[in-house]
Amino acid sequence: MPVKLFYEALKDAMAEEMRRDPNVYVLGEDVGHYGGSYKATKDLYKEFGELRLLDTPICENAFTGLAVGSAMTGLRPIIEGMNMGFLLLAFNQIANNGGMLRYTSGGQFKIPMVVRGPGGVGKQLGAEHSQRLEGYFNNVPGLKIVHTSTVYNAKGLLKAAIRDDNPVMFFEHVLLYNLKEDIPEAEYLLPLDKAEMVKEGRDVTVLTYGRMRHHCSEALAELAARDIDVELIDLIALKPLDLETIGRSLKKTHRVVIVEEDMKSGGVGAEIVASIDEHYFDYLDAPVVRLASKDVPVPYNGRMEATVIPQPHDIVKAVEEMLALRV
């Protein structure tokens, strides 16, 4: 199996789908000749031309509206946000248009559109470039939301998102683009509504997604050395949630820690807690613990920035404290 970087897997997914379907095209700022802010579209314009790698002005609401309109006519646009935080300027086009038109048109229109790009807390990018927007879009009807975490799932999920007939918010973490992994040469797609069982365990379930998967894996190594057996689930699908996988794990461990980079107030974790209480409350032996970003703008200072988001030692402490309450 070839070794690929995260951004190369994204590029390969788009190239394969563009070869397969002439209706697929990419648009956004600097996606053509420059190759995208993190090189996910590098050199694609040489094969597909400037109309299918469409460089746009710095006007997110305009080119997102263009993408929605083109999707209504049968094209399959892939919007690259130079930074997902900039797409707040296009919230109306994504939410009121992209998310709702299939319903409000009585099914006359499909909106096969992917909105992808970098987000999350990077390394001293400042507050406006460190946005985690999954919680913002989680409340919009009609959108599917996935968050990538590995080279393997980035490619398989993006191919599936491009083929889906609904708008898909496709989140990538800004610090994962240089991840390396062996991935299959043969074509594969991954479901947009399934979580991944990263590691099975018996003592406690940890639910996470995105870059926090890697923080959790680091914490699990330390916990294993202390004879604590953690079950780790990468949610991947944030909307809809894979409640079946979550419930199956809870029925075994009876304890849950949620680790997310999103803000704690109104974040994805809050929806997960509500869903667990609604569907699996009787299986819990302890209150659900939630680790999330602090409700502050992300500081530029590196040491302060690190304190805003959950770190591996925070995860270790939360799991140990939860298990200390066992009777």
Residues belonging to the active site:
60, 129
Nearest to 24 by CA among 101, 139, 113, 145: 113
Residue 74, Cβ neighbours under 10 Å: how many? 10
> What is the sign of the dihedral through the CA atoms of 282, 287, 291 and 295?
positive
State the distance between the two ends of the chain, measured CA to CA, in whole angstroms. 48
Contact assessment for residue 202 and residue 252, using Cβ atoms and an 8 Å cutoff: yes
The DSSP 8-state label assigned to residue 326 in this structure reads -
Provide the greatest CA pair distance for the chain: 65
The H or E element containing residue 158 is helix 151-163
**CA–CA separation, 7 vs 44, rounded Å?**
13
Query: Does a cis peptide bond (omega within 30 degrees of 0) precede residue 240?
Result: yes
**CA–CA separation, 21 vs 44, rounded Å?**
15
The DSSP 8-state label assigned to residue 297 in this structure reads P
Q: Which residue has the tokens 């956004």?
A: 28
Contact assessment for residue 232 and residue 279, using Cβ atoms and an 8 Å cutoff: no
> How far is residue 239 from each of residues 96, 144, 170, 176, 235, measured CA to CA in Å?
17, 5, 11, 22, 10
Query: 150 — phi, psi (to 5°)?
Result: -135, 165
Nearest to 231 by CA among 240, 220, 242: 220
How many residues are listed for the chain in this entry? 327
Two structure tokens written together for 310:
């959950």
